[in-house]
Amino acid sequence: MPATNSNKGALLEPDFIARLERLEIVSRKIFHGKMRGERRSKRRGESVEFADYRNYVIGDDLRFLDWNIYARLERLFVKLFLEEEDLHVNLLVDISGSMDIGKPLKSRYAMQIAAALAYIGLSNNDRVSVYAFADGLNYELSGLRGKRMIAKVFDFLGNVECGGVSNLSRACKQYAMRHAQAGILLVLSDFFDKGGYESGLRMLLGRKFDIYCIQVLAPEEIDPQLTGELRLTDVEDDDIAEVSISRALINRYKHNLQAYCAELQSFCTRRGMTYALANTQVPFDQIVMGYLRRRGLLK
């Protein structure tokens, strides 16, 4: 049953928002931005921070010649300054049916993380884009800049309807085709995609994003407390699995889940992505304030 998050109360508490203001998103890579921002760019530009010298070649802007050196050495050198650019923070939130499970709902948990990161990004004048995807990019809110835009983000996330079959591959493809601008990309999903997550994540790699995969799992999924003869229905595609719960089966399931997560982590690590597992039982602010900081996404 698709549900919106609008009636679940505010995504972020004011106290928490205040704590978020002190944080900023750190990229391990230096990206080219479109606009001047508050972070250093790889490009040499017009900021006040000196970076280097180089020999003058015809056509260089004469304003940047270092006349003092010319006076001493009678040779022309051009001063190079670091350019400051804005950072693209992209948040991909999974809103497929499988995220609409658990207490708290996995989708809400993911959106809270997304909202927090969006707020941090907007606070630091980063360019923040939020996408919700299920079998494709279903919702999009892009190009936000400036703290005042946070209300839009909250509105956006509050009005997203969960449901549908998860298709990470297609969503990533659509996203990668539309956005060539490198930046930080957070994928918040349970990665339970029967089509596989590999091809989707591989497509993102081509764009040289600094990718963070946050796998959101509910405790019911990590340690299911089931007994008896059950008819399990997949909320996404209504696929039926009839199981007779036994200790062996539970053990096997846990083993498979562990292997699945380990495989995802291994996939990410090998490709320079950062993987994190978020158990919805752990309050999301701990994830943001603690875990993501430790992993270097925030400082």
Partner 1 sequence: MTFLSGWGPIALAAGLTVPPLVALYFLKLRRQPLKVSSTLLWKRAVEDLQVNAPFQRIKNNLLLWLQLLVLLLAAFALGKPVIDAKESQKDSLILLIDQSASMEVEEEGGMSRLQIAKDQAKTEIDNLADGARAMVIGFSDRATIASSFETDKNVLKRRIDEIAATESVTTLSEAVTLAEAYMQNQVIGGETPGQDPTAQGLTGPVRVAILSDGNIADATKLTVKRLPTDDMQVISVGERSDNVAILSMDARRNYERPAMLEVFAMVRNFGPDPVTCDATLYINDENVDVQTMVLQPGLRAADAEVDADSSGIAPEDGTADTSAGGRSIMSAGPPIGSVASVAFDEVEYEGGGVVEVRLNVPDALAADNVAWTIVQPPRSVSVLLVAAGDVFLERALDALSVDVEQMTPAAFENASDDDLTEAGRSKWDVVIFENYSTKRLPPGNYIFMGGVPDIEGVSSGKTISNEILFNWDESHPILRYVAVDNIQVFQWSELTLPTDAEKLIEGETSPVLAYLARDGRQYLICAFGIIAEDEITGQPMLNTDWVIKPHFPVFLSNAIQYLAGSLSPTGMRNIRPGEPIQFPVLEGTQEIAVRRPDGESDHIQAAGFANVNYARTRRVGVYTAKPGIEGRDRFAVNLYSAGESDIAPRQKLTLSGKQLTASGEVQRVNKPVWPWILLAAIAVLALEWAVYSKRVFV
112 residue type, one letter? Q
Asked if 192 touches partner 1 (CB under 8 A), the answer is yes
Helix (H) / strand (E) element for 249: namely: helix 247-270
Residue with tokens 């996995």: 106
Q: How far apart are CA 191 and CA 193, in angstroms?
A: 6
Residues 196-225 close enough to bind partner 1 by CB under 8 A: 218, 221
Residue 189 contacts residue 99 (beta carbons within 8 Å) = yes
Reported residue count of the chain is 299
Asked if 56 touches partner 1 (CB under 8 A), the answer is no
Interaction mask 127-166, partner 1, x per CB under 8 A? ----------------------------------------
Tokens representing residue 183 in the block: 């930046």
Quick one: which of 194, 208, 294, 299 contacts partner 1 (CB under 8 A)? 194
The minimum distance between CB 41 and partner 1, in angstroms, equals 41
Interaction mask 101-120, partner 1, x per CB under 8 A? xx---x--------------
Residues 225-244 close enough to bind partner 1 by CB under 8 A: 226-236, 239-244
C-beta atoms surrounding 11 within 10 Å: 23
Determine the longest span between alpha carbons in the chain, in angstroms: 89
Residue 53 contacts residue 77 (beta carbons within 8 Å) = yes
Asked if 98 touches partner 1 (CB under 8 A), the answer is yes
The minimum distance between CB 198 and partner 1, in angstroms, equals 14
The minimum distance between CB 135 and partner 1, in angstroms, equals 14
Asked if 73 touches partner 1 (CB under 8 A), the answer is no
Residue 59 contacts residue 101 (beta carbons within 8 Å) = no
Phi and psi for 106 in degrees, rounded to 5?
A: -60, -35
Q: How many CA atoms lie within 13 A of 41 on its CB side?
A: 25
Angle, CA 120 vertex, CA 115 and CA 125 arms, to 5°? 120
Question: Nearer to partner 1 by C-beta: 126 or 221?
Answer: 221
Q: How far apart are CA 192 and CA 165, in angstroms?
A: 10
Question: Nearer to partner 1 by C-beta: 182 or 218?
Answer: 218
The minimum distance between CB 251 and partner 1, in angstroms, equals 9
Nearest to 175 by CA among 162, 163, 189: 189
- Contacts with partner 1 by CB under 8 A: the residue count is 38
The minimum distance between CB 255 and partner 1, in angstroms, equals 8
The minimum distance between CB 226 and partner 1, in angstroms, equals 7
The minimum distance between CB 185 and partner 1, in angstroms, equals 23
Q: Which stretch binds partner 1 (CB under 8 A): 10-18, 42-50, 142-150, 248-256?
A: 248-256
- Which residues would be at the binding site for partner 1 (CB under 8 A)? 97-99, 101-102, 106, 190, 192, 194, 218, 221, 226-236, 239-246, 248-249, 252-253, 255-257, 260
